[in-house]
A and B are shown apart, each in its own frame.
Chain A
Amino acid sequence: MCQLSKVQKYTPSKIIQLILEGFEEKVLDSGDLWDCLTCNQCLKDCPEDINFADIVRTARYLMRHKDQSADEYIAHKGIYTTLSEIMSRPYINPERNMEWVPKECKISDKGNTLYYVGCLPFFNYEFEGLDSIATSTLQIMYKVENEPIVVLREETCCGHDIYWGQGKLKTFIKLGQKNIEKFEKAGVSKIITACAECYRTFKVDYAQIFEEFESKFEVKHLIEYIYENWKEGNIEFVKPKKSEETTPFTYHDPCRLSRFLSKENDITGITREIFKEFEKLGYKFNEMKHNKENSLCCGVSSWMNCNEKSKALRYKRMLEAKEAGTIMVTSCPKCNIHLSCLQNDFEDIASIEILDFSEFLVNHIKASNQSNKKEGTN
C-alpha cells in the first residue's frame, strides 16, 4: 500500500486508471505526481508489475515541459540538483575535496578498480560526518586491493536526483556521457560504490541508456564487494575490543537496494547473511517491523518534498528502529541524511546511532591470512 497515503490522500492505482482511460493530460496538469516519494512500494504490491516510479519520472519530465515549476517541491533551495546541473556542463569539472582520503590509503587516477564516491564530499558543509562513509569504504577496500584504488578528483555526479526528482533526462544523459568518458580514461573495469542510488543508477539506468556500459564495467555495491571477498576468504570479520555486552542493531533497507532491483539481485539476502555472522561478534541483529522489500521509506527522495508529511513518515521509521535496537545501519547515505536530520527535531529518537554499512563494518574487517594483499605491496 502506498506509503505516502498514510499522511496524505494519494492513490497510485487511481492515477494509473486515469492514465489508462486517456486522462493523461489531466494527471499531468494536476501536478499530483510531484508529491510521489518514488519508493515503489506500490510496485511491490502490484499484481500487474506496474512500475509506478518509472511513470512518475517520465511524468515529471513531461510536467516540466508543461511549464510547471517544481521549485516549491525541491528541498534545500535546489542547491544539490543545481550542482548536478552545473557538473553536466561540458567544460565544468569541479575539483572535489580530498581531505577525507586516509593517509595510509594509496589512490591513483588510473587503474582497474574505481571507488565511485558520489556526492558525499559536497554534502559535507550542510550535514556533518558524511566524510566518514567515504573514508571507511576506502579503508575497507584498501584491506583487499593490491593495486592503488582509483578515486577521481574530478568525479561527475551520477545524475540520480536530477533524473528521478525532476525528470531532467537531458541533463542525466550528459552526466552519464561525462562519467563514462572519465571511467574509460582512467581505464577502470570495476566500479565499487557505497551509495544505493549510485549503484542502482549504474546498474540499471546506465545499462539501459548507454550501450556497452554493462559489458565494459562491472558495478558492485560495497555490500556485494564485502560479501564476495568474505566468501572468497579474502577477509574475515573480527571483534576489535573484547566485551561481553551484546549490542542490538537493525538495518534499514533503502528502496534502491530492495524494490528497485531485479529479483535476481539479492542484496537484502546477503546483507542478512553478513549480519548473521556479526552475532558472533557481540551484536544482535533485529529486523524492524517493515523490512527488506517492505521497508518503510526514509521520507524524502531526490531532494523532493521535505515537509512535515515526510517528517511523519521518517518519525514512523525511527520509532520502528528504536524498538529494534540502539544502532541503525543503512547502506544509503541519503537515508542516513534524512533520518539523522529528523533527530534534531525529535528528542525521543535522538539516541539511536545511525551508521552507514561501511562505518559499521570498517573496524570489524581484517584481511585474512590467506589473502595476498600485503605481500604484493610491501
Chain B
Amino acid sequence: MEGSVLVVGGGIAGIQVSLDLTELGFKVYLIEKQAYIGGHMAQFDKLFPANDCSLCVLAPKLVAIYRNPNIDLYTLSEVKNVSGNAGNFNVTIQKNPRYVDEDRCKGCGDCAAKCPKVEAPNLFDMNLGKRKSIYIPFPQATPPVYMIDPELCLYLNRNVCRVCEKFCKGDAIDFEQKPEDIAFNVGAIVIATGYEMLGEELSAKWGYQYKNVVNALEYERILSPTGPFGNQILRPGDEKEPKKIAFIQCAGSSYLEDNVPYCSRACCMYTTKEAVLTKQYSQESQVSIFRHNIRVFGKNFYEYTKEAQIEHGINYFNSNINSIEEEPETHDIIINYDDLRKGEQGKSYTADLVVLAAPLVPSRGTKDLAKIIDIKLDDYGFFQESSYFDKSLSTKKGVYLCGFCQGPMVISETAANASGVASQISIFLNSARYTQIVDKEIEVKPDEEMIKIIPRALVVGGGITGMTAALNISNQGFETILVERDEKLGGNLNHLNLIYPTQQKASGFLEEKIEELSNIENIKVFLNTSIEELEGSLGNYHVKISNHAKEDTFEVGVIIVATGSKEFKPHGLFQYDKENRYVITQLELEEILKAEDKDWLNGINHITTIMCVNARQEGGFSYCSNICCSNTIKNISILKKLKPELNVVVLFRELHMAKKEFEQYVSKRKKIANYLKYDLANIPQIDKVSDNPEKYEITVHDIVNQDENIRFETDLVILSTPMIPPEDLQDLATKLKVSIDDNGFFIEAHKKLRPLDLTSHGIFICGCAQWPKNVQDSILEANAAAGRASRFLSIKEISTTKLEMLSVFLSIECYFKDMKVNIEKCNGCGQCAEVCQFKAITLEDLKQDYEDISISTKKAHINPAICKGCGKCSTTCRLKAIEPLHYDFKQLTSIVEPYFHEKGKRKEAEESICIE
C-alpha cells in the first residue's frame, strides 16, 4: 500500500483534494496539462454571491500548493500510462518542455520585454489578450515561471534570435529541454480534469461566429480588471464600450434537441453574476437576460436572481431564441426571439454585445484519459460513477472522481466533493498514512503554543448525513459519538418510499446503513438525546448530553453538525387541513405509498400536484428548497406505474433541477403528466366541492398558453412544500458560537471554498443543515465534512502557527482573522477580555525588568483556536495594542481616509483659530 496519491488536474478540485490529502497525511503528485494551476477559477473575475475577487480567494491556495513540501507539482504534464492495482498503481507521466528552467527562473519578465516576436493571443485571456512567445499566462500564475511557446518561438522554428537567453539574468532559458517521462507509484488516483466551455462548436444559430458574440468565459476575462481590456468593459469587435448587453442562457444546451443534452448547472448563477457586475461597472448599460428555463436550485440562488432584478434593474426575458444575426454596418447583434411570457412570436432585440451561457462539457482528453486508466464514461461523456450514492467512486477501485469531470457541479460543491474524496482515500490508504510525508508540521517555533486535539468526534444528528459522517470518521480510526434527538436513526429517510433514480426502497437502504453502523465498535450512538452544554475550542470541546434520564459528558476534538431539515406543513393553505384527508404533502404521500395496501388508489382518477407552496415568495419562505421538483416528478412516475390511467396535473412555477442523473426524468416529464405554469400574480385556487368522496375544484391561470382560467376537478391534491430547518436550531448555534442565516440555515465560513466549515474552528456542517439537498448530495457532504474534520483528528496536536497558516491559506476572511496583542503596548487593563464574546482573551502575568526595579504585569493573551477575528477587542483597546494580523490600522486608515478627508480639513481649520 502506497501512502501517496496522484491527482490529475490542477483546478480548484485538484487543488482542494491535494491540500486536504496532505493534511490527512498523504503525499500528492499533482499534474496539470496547462503551464499553471488554478484552472478556470483563476480566469473568473468575481464570485457569486459576495462578489469577492476569484483570484484573490484562490491565490493563497495556489501558493499553499506550490510551497507544500508534500506536493510534487508537475505542470505541462499528462498521464501517459497507468498499470497496477488499487493501493499500488504504477504511473508514468509525460512532462512537456517549458524551455525555461523552473528552478532558475525568477519571473522577472526581462525575457518577455525583449522578445521580438509580435504579440500573439493569450489563451488565458480566452485569446482576447496579447502575449509574446516567451510569456507568463497571468501575473499570479503558479508556478511563477515563464514559458516559451514552441510554435511561435523564432529560435525553435527558424533557428534565429535567442534574445531571451541573452537577457535572462538567472540563466534559466533551456532550449535543450525534451519531453520527459517520469514514473512513480501511488496508492490511489484522483481525476479532477474539469470542464471546457463550448464556443466554436456551437451551431451557427447562436452567432458565435460574430466578433461581438462571446461566451461567458470570454466575458469573465473582459470583466476582469486584469483582463485584456483592463478595467473597462469593451466589446471585442471594435473595442468600444457596449451600451446594451444581452445574455443568452442555455445557448446550445439541455432542452434543445440539436445540442448538449444536460443542464450545465452553473450558468444561471454566473449569468446573473456577470449581469450584476456589468451593471455595477457601468451604470448606464442596459443589461438583459434571455432565459428559457431557469434553474436556481442552490443556497440563496433564487434570492440572488431576485435581487439582480429588483436592485440592479436587470431584465429577464422568458424567451425562445430563434436566431442571432449581425447587423453588417454597426456589427451590433440582433436577437430574434419569441417572448414566452407575453406570448408574442417573432420579436427582435438589438444588442451591442451578446454573451452566451454556452454548455460546459468534459475537458478535451477525457476520453483518452479514461482509456489510459481504464475507467468508463457515461452517456454525456463525463466519467461514470460506480454508485449513485457515492459519486466520487469511479468504475475502478482506487480511482476517484472529483469535481466537474464526473458531472456538472458549482464551485462550492466541487470544494465539498474534494474534501469528501480526500476522506475516502484516507480510509482506503489508512494503513499507509504518514509513510511518505516529508514534514508533518509546517515548522514549529521552539516556544510555540501547541493545541492538543482529542482524537474523538461528535456528530450531531443521526439522519443519513450524520450516519455517513460518523461511519467515515470511525473508518479512519477515530472514535465517534453520534447524538440523535429522535428515538431512531435515519431522519427523513424513515418517511421516504423509493429513492430515485436507483428505485431502491428507502427503508432497505436505511437498514443497511444502520447495520453497518452497529458493526463498528468505535461509534457510540445516543438516541433520544440532546446537547445540554457545549464549551471549549478546537481540539478540546466539552460536551454534556442528556436523554431525560441520565446525563453524560465527553471531551471531543471536532464537531460535525448534521441537524437536517424537515418538511413544512402548510396549515391553512390550499385546503391543507386535518379535515381534508385528500390534501396532503409530498412526504405524507411517500408514507402512504410505502404502505403495502394500495387500495386507496381505486377511487382516485385525477391527481393535482401544486409546487412551490409558500416558497419563493414574500410572506412565505423566500428560498427554493432544491429537492421538491425531483421529488414531485419521482412520485408522479411511481403513481403512474401503480395506476397508468391516472390523470396527473402539475401546477408549477419553474423547474429547478440540474442534476445529470435526473435529466431523463425531466425530459420525459410531459409524457406522463400535464404541466401548467402559474405565477405569483395568479396563485391557483382550490375549492372543496364535495365531502364524501372528497373532491376539489382547481382554478388556475396557465401563463404558457395565455388562456383564460382553467377549471377542473381533482380527487387528490399533493402539495410540494419547502424544507425548513428544525425549530430550536438557534439554541444549538449559540452553543456552537456560530450564526444562522435569515432562512434558519447555518452560515458557512466561505460560501464557495469552505462550504462545510463553520466560522468556529473545528466545527463542520453537512447535509440539510447547510441547505436542503437529496440523499446523494447529503452523503457527498457527509464524507466531505468528515474529511475536513479528520484533518484535525489525524494530527493530534496543532501549533498556533499552523492554525494561522490554515486560516491564511485556506480561509477567505484571513485578512480579518487572528488578532495579535502587542505586548509592548498592552497595559493589561482587561477591557478586551471583557468585550470578547468568544472568551478568547485571558490576562496573563508577565515579569517586566527595568533598570532598577522589576514588576509583574498583566498582559492580554488571545487563544487563536477560539479567536474569530471579529475585531471587537481591537476597537475597544485604547492603546491600539491589539491589531489584526495581515491587515493593520495603517492599511485600514488609508482606505477610509479619503472619505473623512473633507471633514478633517474642516476640523483643522477650526482648530487653527486658537489663540496663540
Interface residue B855 (Cβ < 8 Å from any Cβ of A): yes
Interface residue A315 (Cβ < 8 Å from any Cβ of B): yes
**A307–B914 alpha-carbon span in the complex (Å):** 31
Is there contact, CB below 8 Å, between B914 and A170?
yes
Given contacts A169-B915, A311-B857, contact A77 B851 (CB under 8 A): no
Q: Determine how close the nearest CB of chain A comes to the CB of B252; give it in whole angstroms.
A: 61
Per-position binary interface string of chain B over residues 846-867, scored 1 when its CB falls under 8 Å from any chain A CB and 0 otherwise: 0010111111010000000000
Q: Determine how close the nearest CB of chain B comes to the CB of A74; give it in whole angstroms.
A: 8
Interface residue B916 (Cβ < 8 Å from any Cβ of A): yes
Contact of A173 among B853, B880, B915 (CB under 8 A): B915
Name which residue of chain B comes closest to A8, CB basis. B850
Is there contact, CB below 8 Å, between A308 and B851?
no
Interface residue B166 (Cβ < 8 Å from any Cβ of A): no
Is there contact, CB below 8 Å, between A312 and B916?
no
Given contacts A6-B852, A169-B916, A173-B915, contact A72 B878 (CB under 8 A): yes
List residues of chain A with CB within 8 A of the CB of B879.
Answer: 72, 307
Per-position binary interface string of chain A over residues 302-345, scored 1 when its CB falls under 8 Å from any chain B CB and 0 otherwise: 00001111011001100100000000000000000000000000
Interface residue B902 (Cβ < 8 Å from any Cβ of A): no
Interface residue B827 (Cβ < 8 Å from any Cβ of A): yes
**A64–B914 alpha-carbon span in the complex (Å):** 12
Q: Determine how close the nearest CB of chain B comes to the CB of A322; give it in whole angstroms.
A: 13
Per-position binary interface string of chain A over residues 154-187, scored 1 when its CB falls under 8 Å from any chain B CB and 0 otherwise: 0000000000000001100100000000000000
**A316–B853 alpha-carbon span in the complex (Å):** 7
Residue of B848, B850, B855, B914 with most chain A CB atoms under a 10 A cut-off: B855
Name which residue of chain A comes closest to B904, CB basis. A67
**A308–B850 alpha-carbon span in the complex (Å):** 11
Q: Determine how close the nearest CB of chain B comes to the CB of A184; give it in whole angstroms.
A: 21
Contact of A311 among B852, B855, B880, B915 (CB under 8 A): B855
Contact of A67 among B825, B827, B850, B908 (CB under 8 A): B908
**A346–B854 alpha-carbon span in the complex (Å):** 12
Is there contact, CB below 8 Å, between B880 and A315?
no
Interface residue A7 (Cβ < 8 Å from any Cβ of B): yes
Q: Determine how close the nearest CB of chain A comes to the CB of B543; give it in whole angstroms.
A: 38
Is there contact, CB below 8 Å, between A65 and B855?
no
Interface residue A71 (Cβ < 8 Å from any Cβ of B): yes
Q: Determine how close the nearest CB of chain B comes to the CB of A43; give it in whole angstroms.
A: 21
List residues of chain B with CB within 8 A of the CB of A71.
Answer: 878
Is there contact, CB below 8 Å, between A309 and B878?
no
**A309–B879 alpha-carbon span in the complex (Å):** 14
Tell me the count of chain A residues lying within 8 A, CB to CB, of chain B.
23
Interface residue B912 (Cβ < 8 Å from any Cβ of A): yes
List residues of chain A with CB within 8 A of the CB of B904.
Answer: 67
Is there contact, CB below 8 Å, between B853 and A308?
no
Contact of B850 among A64, A77, A309, A346 (CB under 8 A): A309
Name which residue of chain A comes closest to B880, CB basis. A72
Is there contact, CB below 8 Å, between A312 and B914?
no
Q: Determine how close the nearest CB of chain A comes to the CB of B225; give it in whole angstroms.
A: 33
**A39–B695 alpha-carbon span in the complex (Å):** 96
Is there contact, CB below 8 Å, between A315 and B853?
yes
List residues of chain A with CB within 8 A of the CB of B857.
Answer: 308, 311
Is there contact, CB below 8 Å, between B827 and A307?
yes
Interface residue B828 (Cβ < 8 Å from any Cβ of A): yes
Is there contact, CB below 8 Å, between B912 and A308?
no
**A71–B878 alpha-carbon span in the complex (Å):** 7
Name which residue of chain B comes closest to A168, CB basis. B914
B85-102 interface with A by 8 A CB criterion: none
Per-position binary interface string of chain A over residues 61-76, scored 1 when its CB falls under 8 Å from any chain B CB and 0 otherwise: 0001101000110100
Name which residue of chain A comes closest to B881, CB basis. A72
List residues of chain A with CB within 8 A of the CB of B521.
Answer: none
Contact of B828 among A6, A308, A319 (CB under 8 A): A308
B834-891 interface with A by 8 A CB criterion: 848, 850-855, 857, 878-880
Is there contact, CB below 8 Å, between A312 and B855?
yes
**A67–B854 alpha-carbon span in the complex (Å):** 35
Interface residue B911 (Cβ < 8 Å from any Cβ of A): yes
Q: Determine how close the nearest CB of chain A comes to the CB of B511; give it in whole angstroms.
A: 65
Is there contact, CB below 8 Å, between B911 and A315?
no
Q: Determine how close the nearest CB of chain A comes to the CB of B377; give it in whole angstroms.
A: 65
Name which residue of chain A comes closest to B854, CB basis. A312
List residues of chain A with CB within 8 A of the CB of B914.
Answer: 169-170
Name which residue of chain A comes closest to B914, CB basis. A170
A119-141 interface with B by 8 A CB criterion: none
Is there contact, CB below 8 Å, between A312 and B848?
yes
Is there contact, CB below 8 Å, between A312 and B915?
no
Q: Determine how close the nearest CB of chain A comes to the CB of B265; give it in whole angstroms.
A: 53
Is there contact, CB below 8 Å, between B827 and A308?
yes
Per-position binary interface string of chain A over residues 284-318, scored 1 when its CB falls under 8 Å from any chain B CB and 0 otherwise: 00000000000000000000001111011001100
Name which residue of chain B comes closest to A319, CB basis. B853
Is there contact, CB below 8 Å, between B878 and A7?
no
**A77–B827 alpha-carbon span in the complex (Å):** 13
Is there contact, CB below 8 Å, between A7 and B850?
yes
Name which residue of chain B comes closest to A309, CB basis. B850
Contact of A7 among B825, B851, B880, B908 (CB under 8 A): B851
List residues of chain B with CB within 8 A of the CB of A64.
Answer: 911
Name which residue of chain B comes closest to A78, CB basis. B878
List residues of chain B with CB within 8 A of the CB of A311.
Answer: 855, 857
In the complex, 18 of the A-B residue pairs with CB atoms within 8 angstroms, ordered by the A residue number, are A6-B850, A6-B851, A6-B852, A65-B911, A67-B904, A72-B878, A72-B880, A77-B878, A169-B914, A169-B916, A170-B914, A307-B827, A308-B828, A308-B855, A309-B850, A312-B848, A312-B854, A312-B855
- Chain B interfacial positions (CB closer than 8 Å to A): 825, 827-828, 848, 850-855, 857, 878-880, 904, 908, 911-912, 914-916
Sorted from nearest, which 7 A-B pairs have the closest CB atoms?
Answer: A170-B914, A308-B857, A307-B827, A7-B850, A6-B851, A316-B853, A72-B879
Sample of 5 more A-B contacts, CB < 8 Å, known A6-B853, A77-B878: A6-B851, A7-B853, A65-B912, A72-B878, A312-B854
